[in-house]
A and B are shown apart, each in its own frame.
Chain A
Amino acid sequence: MNSLPVQPIGTVKGPGETPNDYLLIAPDPERRVKHGEFVYYLALIEGETREILGRVTGRRPVRLLPDSFLADPGVPPATVAALLGYESEATELFEITVRVLGFHSAEMGDFINPRVPPMGGAPVFIATDALLGQVLNRRPQGGRGSAFLGSLLSRPEGAVPIALDVRGFTGTHLAVIASTGSGKSYLAGVLLEELLMPHNRAAILVVDPHGEYSTLQEMMNLGEFSEGNYKPRVRIFRPDQLRVRIDSLTVGDLRYLLPNLSEKMHYQLGRAFNFAQRSARNGHYTLEQLLYAVRQSAESKKESEGFDEDDPTTGALVWRLQSALGHSQIFHDFENLELEALFKPGQCTILQLNEIDRRDQQVIVATLLRRVYQARMDTAKGKLDRGDPSHLPYPVFCLLEEAHNYAPANADAVSSEVLKTILSEGRKFGVGIGLITQRPGKLDSDVLSQCMTQCIMRITNPIDQNRIAESIESVGRDLLQELPNLSKGQVVVSGASVNTPVLIKVRRRITPHGGQDLDAPAEWLQWFAQDRAAEQARAQALFVEKKIQYEDDGDVLWA
């Protein structure tokens, strides 16, 4: 048991509305009992005095100075009370609602609810920083498997550091939900920094549709990230370096990439795909071989026993395949992003998908996730040898920015299915997914509810708030109400990586932040400082007489 603070903050009044709530009365002149603050009372549990921790969820005044005392803004109401003979400073009393979390059991690594409200009149204390640091974190800051995200918001910065359990969110997935400008990319940057610290050395892939994460490269040069021989590696794949080998596309991917397929084309594409797979050597085939398969599988061929280029279905399919795959830099006959190049412990690979068409992005992500998942399954089941390029003998973590593009609600995307599979089954094979989205309302609710760790930042849109409330049970209603009021860099973390939902102020990033907004006024002013002077000089410059050479007959030879 920890040493007690000297003064209690309030006194238990009695049980609250629900079995897990209790009420306390506090004068709180120093305004220490904030929303979300942690308080505790002492109770005897199995012969041992335990601190039963709870979180403040409500505050209601039960005694206030009368309104009529507030008539003159220049006269403090307490002086009016003193004028009448009430000279005490104790003019306010509050009824505080506390949600019981329970006492922290070191053996269980979790809170255990005593399932009985405290006795009326029991003193209630503000939890000390040391106690909170001990019970809120599953892992000590800087310890193996910890990701130090920031410090508890209700305390001074740095007083109670909060470290997420990396095992929790890499196993059962992570969702970062925040509206634009609330700092979600910054938070993701902090998470990635932590994952690449010497005590974690994770194998990470970041899908970066805006090219915001390139600043992470600085990690390679900073001393904070290296230890002994270890130094993190950050690899960036720019859009022109991305490759998807055509034979890694499924028939579903092909159907998704090809626009406006008729029923007949669907059917023929399926047949052609099977044909190409059957006839391919080592499972590999090129676009040309796929086109050959399309021609081979034409319905009319059976009868005429020859190619029929005039068959409209075959022609249309060939044309579509050519235009979707043949003219693309990404889809390639032989090259592929090799998994062993993408995933290595201590390496963060950033796939920059900016300037790439939305559907192509979805196909790239879908094929990649499918391959990673298959590779991890095959490796876990011992199907792959050490030398195989798909051999992935370590768990991996994939972070998807703008995740609502890859698993949209009420819309069909080729990546949705594989994402759902990994989210529900990936835990067994060590494929962790982190989803970052600014529109949870646009994200598939099944996908969101499978992420067991949630980092939620400011959300003001009511549709998005409702989606969060529907999909995420671990965040209490009281914390959801806080979401519109959060400031930049403040985050509610709940779920499998923390012992209880906590409000955190995100720590400063070690590497510079790459996702800052463009400062338009500054750029405009800069134009006046530099470009305009040059333009004026150009405008005011005298014309230079050009020497024109004429041919003998008077025609202009060149100017």
Chain B
Amino acid sequence: MTDLPIGKIVKSNSHIDYVCQVFGQGETLHPPVPSAYGFGSFVAVELETAGEPDRALVGLVYNTLLMNPEFGALGPRLSPRSEVEIFSPDYLAETATLLGVIAIGWLDGVGQVHQGVPAAVATVNCLVRRLERTELLTFHADGTGQPQLRYTPLLLAHNHALVAPLLLAVIDQLGELFPLSRSRLTVMRNNIAWKSIVQPAG
């Protein structure tokens, strides 16, 4: 069973850098819990499939942002919150949790997985769901069953403060998925940890 959608694409900053708005109360029957879209979560952005070769983009949550128009309005309210829900429900919908999702691969129409910059583009309102464990395994396994992290250069080139912790989080997840290949993942983890933790501190 596929995971329920956690949100929808609302904006993009670049070809691979999308903004997903998490479904809030009233938008879906089962609003997602925060752990479903935590930092370092793998997600699938379902594409419009009519006539398109690719089915979904695979993305990684690298950032979150909270939208709250009420922030800064420090004056007294005439209507209490319970009344606002009745008289101006659209106002409530203006608070939102936004996710920064970086596209790191795609699933094609025949079920093959690919790592790297996808050719396809997600459109506004494309649904975003969490990637299942089996999909995660398939996405990261190469032809011989060994883990692959070919999107690492893509992440490293993405100039963002959270890239190093993101990679560490990804490698830790893969360590659980590929216990037999932990040694090679450890080399990569140590390398990133050294450059991001030890070197800056020295």
Interface residues of A (CB under 8 A from B): 63, 65-69, 81, 84-86, 88, 90-91
Contact = CB atoms under 8 A, between A and B. Distances in A.
B193 A85 contact: yes
Interface in B152-202: 186, 189-190, 193-194, 197-199, 201-202
B198 A86 contact: yes
A88 B193 contact: yes
A81 B198 contact: yes
B48 to A, nearest CB: 42
A79 to B, nearest CB: 12
B199 A84 contact: no
B5 to A, nearest CB: 34
Contacts of A85: 193, 197
Nearest to B193: A86
Interface of B (DSSP majority class): helix
A86 B194 CA distance: 7
A85 to B, nearest CB: 5
Contacts of A66: 198-199, 201-202
A84 B194 contact: no
Contacts of A90: 190
A381 to B, nearest CB: 71
Contacts, number: 31
A66 B194 CA distance: 11
24 contacts: A63-B194, A65-B198, A65-B202, A66-B198, A66-B199, A66-B201, A66-B202, A68-B201, A68-B202, A69-B198, A69-B201, A69-B202, A81-B197, A84-B197, A84-B198, A84-B201, A86-B190, A86-B193, A86-B194, A86-B197, A86-B198, A88-B186, A88-B189, A90-B190
A305 to B, nearest CB: 103
Nearest to B199: A66
Given A69-B198, A69-B201, A88-B186, 12 more contacts: A63-B194, A65-B202, A66-B202, A68-B201, A81-B198, A84-B201, A86-B190, A86-B194, A86-B197, A86-B198, A88-B193, A90-B190
Nearest to A88: B190
Closest 10 CB pairs of A and B: A66-B202, A86-B197, A88-B190, A86-B193, A84-B197, A86-B198, A85-B197, A90-B190, A81-B198, A68-B202
Nearest to B202: A66
A67 B198 CA distance: 11
A66 B201 CA distance: 8
Contacts of A68: 201-202
A98 B197 CA distance: 32
B196 to A, nearest CB: 9
Contacts of B193: 85-86, 88
A544 B72 CA distance: 125
A68 B200 CA distance: 11
Nearest to B201: A84
A65 B194 CA distance: 9
Contacts of A88: 186, 189-190, 193
A85 B201 CA distance: 11
Interface string B4-24: 000000000000000000000
A85 B194 CA distance: 10
A428 B190 CA distance: 63
Contacts of A91: 198
A63 B201 CA distance: 15
Contacts of A86: 190, 193-194, 197-198
Contacts of B198: 65-66, 69, 81, 84, 86, 91
B62 to A, nearest CB: 19
Contacts of B197: 81, 84-86
Q: Interface centre among B190, B193, B194, B198, by most A CB within 10 Å?
A: B198
A150 to B, nearest CB: 39
A146 B163 CA distance: 64
A146 B189 CA distance: 53
A160 B115 CA distance: 52
B202 to A, nearest CB: 2
B65 to A, nearest CB: 25
Contacts of A84: 197-198, 201
Contacts of B190: 86, 88, 90
Nearest to A69: B202
Contacts of B201: 66, 68-69, 84
A63 B193 CA distance: 13
A418 to B, nearest CB: 65
Nearest to A81: B198
B11 to A, nearest CB: 33
Nearest to A83: B201
B176 to A, nearest CB: 17
B87 to A, nearest CB: 50
A155 to B, nearest CB: 28
A28 to B, nearest CB: 15
A66 to B, nearest CB: 2
Contacts of A63: 194
Q: Interface centre among B193, B194, B197, B202, by most A CB within 10 Å?
A: B202
Nearest to B190: A88
Contacts of B202: 65-69
A269 to B, nearest CB: 81
A227 to B, nearest CB: 55
A65 B197 CA distance: 11
A86 B193 CA distance: 6
Contacts of B189: 88
A85 B186 CA distance: 14
A218 B186 CA distance: 62
A240 to B, nearest CB: 75
Contacts of B186: 88
B190 to A, nearest CB: 5
Contacts of B194: 63, 86
